[in-house]
Amino acid sequence: MKSSASNNTVSTKLDLTKDFNYKNSRYLKDVITRYLMTAGGIGVIIAIVLIAVYLVWIVIPLFLPAHTAKLASFEIPDKGPDVSLFYAVEEQREIAMRVLDTGTIVFFKTSDGEVINTENLLSQNRANVTSFAAGNSSGRLLGFGMSDGTVELRYHQYNISYPDDIRIISPQVFNPFDGDSIVVDESGASIVKLAVQGNEEQTTIAALTENSQLILVNLNIETNFLTDERTINKVVTTIPVQYGVRHIIMDVDQTELYFTDIENVLHYYNIRNKQSPILVQSLSVVEDEIDITAMEFLSGGISVLIGDNLGRIAQWFPVRDENNDYSLKKIRIFDSQISPIRQIVPEYFRKGFLALDESGKLGIYHATAHRTIKVQDLNAGHDGMIAIAPRANGLVVENSDSVVDVWELENEHPEVSWSSLWGKVWYESRDGPEYIWQSSSASNIFEPKFSLTPLAFGTLKASLYAMLFAIPLSIMGAIYTAYFMSAGLRNIVKPSIEIMAALPTVILGFLAGLWFAPIVEAYLPAMFLIFLVVPIAIIAAAYLWQFLPEKIKHRVPQGFEGLILLPVIILATTAVFLLSQPIEVWLFGGNLPLWLTQELGISFDQRNSFVVGIAIGFAVIPTIFSISEDAIFGVPKHLTTGSLALGATPWQTMAKVILLTASPGIFSAVMIGLGRAVGETMIVVMATGNTAIMDINIFEGFRALSANIAVEMPESELGSTHYRILFLAGLVLFMATFFFNTIAEVVRQKLRVKYSSL
């Protein structure tokens, strides 16, 4: 007995020890799991925050103001009684050029003002300089109107060499016509106003003489490709002037001429045909008692910038009307300065410009963005003069104290403003304000169009059509699978639908673009009829089911009734496709897409929103279905049985009890599916035309934010405006998905609290 009791005691102690060890082991596992889950959750949050921080870090420079810093200040090079007419800076900002009213051209270093080279026109022409004009900034053509009715033309260029790996820039001036002066006025009347433009093929001069004649001279250069012999064909035309000329400018293509008279009327001439210029329009561009004080072309030679004595600068450019005729329109106005505008200097390659007023203040603007970037007092005085570097990263300023200041200018992203990103913008050569995304072009005078509105619209459009397709199918399927389907069949159907989520979206996009889109175009009537005929066929089959004999109905196991509808759906779909072409021939002349375009004005693209909506819908369905089905299946059984016990039908129980209880999960499923649709990329890239248009038409394409990032990021320049705006698009997507998920969680919590008492 004692031995038996002892054995029992030992056994009990062993059991207690095993139980204690098991509890300790279980507790240890719980602690480890809790910390791992906590660490994982915190890691996810940290990763999301870091992503957001990185996106913001890349985007912030877009909205930083311009920065200026004085690099050097020195006495005017080659100082004397002569007056400066013009300044220019070469690309590296190491050498600048000063043009004097004596015809002297002085090159000097921007670091200390040391004179490098000097060229003098008067050594070749004894006449005096009476007027001056510079051609397009990148063309580097200088024109000097002389007192004897001739014009001297000079190009300035900068030759770069690297002896011993040291960069040396050698400025040079040359005459494009082998030292000959261009005779403008045979009578020898002096040139008082001048405009010049030139290239390798032709040079055009517009000169106002002292006897009030506006003479247009065109020099057309023909080169014999065998002997390299040049032939210059000269055409001289006189343009009538009634009220004198204050300002005169010519576009870089030498096809348009603008001048203002003493009445502040702007005259716009088409000079494409140099022998017979055509007056396109004459109009007053300022109010009464206001004077035009400066006029210059914006980069590209399309827009005209007009400054007045109130410190305002207006942008005008030709707009084509319904009759294909052009007329000048005032597009936008800049009024950040209050003193008369003395000089307008456009940037070389962007749509930005500088404006110097008589008080010595400098305004930095961007035309497309309609943005005043900065207004700064340079102390330039009444007679100040400025020049901008080709890369728009430096300034040379001559002030009234006979001092030249060299400034560094940091203005990397002037194209960005709220209006340029999200508002309608009136771009050059367009008929009116529009939302346009066009980030690049083969043209050097391209005006970037960075409107994110059509991309955001395309994203919402894709999401809308995808959710219209996915929500009914996924939620209704979840309801039937979780509540009405048998357990055995559910164990097959649910994993089968969930495995669809593993299908790569690039495959869906490939199938949608190359297989499904042509089917939609060929059987368009069927695509409309299928949404009508198939539901009717299902309802008709359900109605006829109740008239079948009980013996037949009892042979179908409970929960398997849905399988009977599969043949019905297949037959209805087959019938719809067989009838599609006869219906198209009978009602729509054999071509429904063409009929929609001609009769209803609804354009049709093969790869359109309808195709993309269905493709994205299939990608979203597994997510919404799985979460909704789990929410419905997870409703406590006592709620279902209690409702049925109180006399409610299964459908009443579903509508009044189960759906309400599961509504937080269903709502979360829909919002997660929406976030999935918003961020979809490959399907949109492959199954739509990627055209950034704003049209609700379901048969038109679009371009989404995500697809735009995928398409254009590889070709964007690191750190460029285009590059950062693509990151801004990513930030917009991030914020949109964060917003949707936050709303989903808030609503889900409220629904959970509201229906927790059931």
Count of other CB atoms within 10 angstroms of residue 303: 24
Q: Counting Cβ atoms within 10 Å, is residue 311 exposed (0-12), middle (13-18) or buried (19+)?
A: buried
Q: What are the helix and strand counts (H, E) for the chain? A: 17, 31
CA distances from 468 to 231, 514, 737 (A): 70, 23, 18
Weakest mean pLDDT among 59-68, 88-97, 178-187, 512-521: 178-187
297, containing H or E segment: strand 292-297
Average pLDDT over residues 207-215: 91
Q: How far apart are CA 338 and CA 754, in angstroms?
A: 62
Q: Which of 458, 601, 610 is nearest to 524 (CA)?
A: 610
Quick check: 197 and 252 in contact, CB under 8 A?
yes
Q: What is the DSSP letter of 212?
A: S
Tokens read off for 99 = 């043009």
Quick check: 726 and 607 in contact, CB under 8 A?
no
Integer distance in angstroms from the first to the last C-alpha of the chain? Answer: 60
Query: The dihedral of CA 630, 636, 640, 643: what is its sign?
Result: negative
**Residue 373 amino acid letter:** I
Instruction: Please enumerate, as own/partner, the contacts of 736-740 that have beta carbons within 8 Å and a separation of 24 or more.
Output: 736/459, 736/675, 736/678, 737/675, 737/678, 737/679, 740/671, 740/674, 740/675, 740/678
| pLDDT per residue as tens digits for the range 217-261 | 999 888 777 777 778 888 999 998 888 899 999 999 999 999 999
Could you tell me which residues come within 8 angstroms of residue 304 by beta carbon, excluding any fewer than 6 positions away?
A: 249, 258, 266, 295, 296, 297, 298, 315, 316, 317, 328
| pLDDT per residue as tens digits for the range 258-309 | 999 999 999 999 999 989 999 999 999 999 889 999 999 999 899 999 999 9
Cα-Cα-Cα-Cα torsion 562, 563, 567, 570, nearest 10 degrees, comes to 70
Give one DSSP letter per residue of 353-387, joined into a string: EEEEETTSEEEEEETTTTEEEEEEE----TT-EEE
Quick check: 683 and 512 in contact, CB under 8 A?
yes
Q: How far apart are CA 531 and CA 524, in angstroms?
A: 12
Q: Return the percentage of the chain with pLDDT > 70, whole number.
A: 95
CA distances from 6 to 3, 9, 13, 16, 665 (A): 5, 5, 11, 15, 58
Which architecture does CATH list for 460-717+726-754? Orthogonal Bundle (1.10)
Q: Does the pLDDT value for residue 20 go beyond 70? A: no
Q: What is the pLDDT of residue 407?
A: 93
Quick check: 132 and 120 in contact, CB under 8 A?
no
Q: Counting Cβ atoms within 10 Å, is residue 177 exposed (0-12), middle (13-18) or buried (19+)?
A: middle
Sheet containing 371-377: order of strands: 341-346, 352-357, 361-366, 371-377
Best-predicted range by mean pLDDT among 490-494, 689-693, 707-711?
Answer: 707-711
Q: How far apart are CA 15 and CA 6, in angstroms?
A: 14
Q: What is the pLDDT of residue 6?
A: 59
Q: What is the pLDDT of residue 405?
A: 92
| pLDDT per residue as tens digits for the range 607-658 | 889 999 999 999 999 999 999 988 888 888 888 888 888 888 888 888 888 8
- Does this model's pTM top 0.75? yes
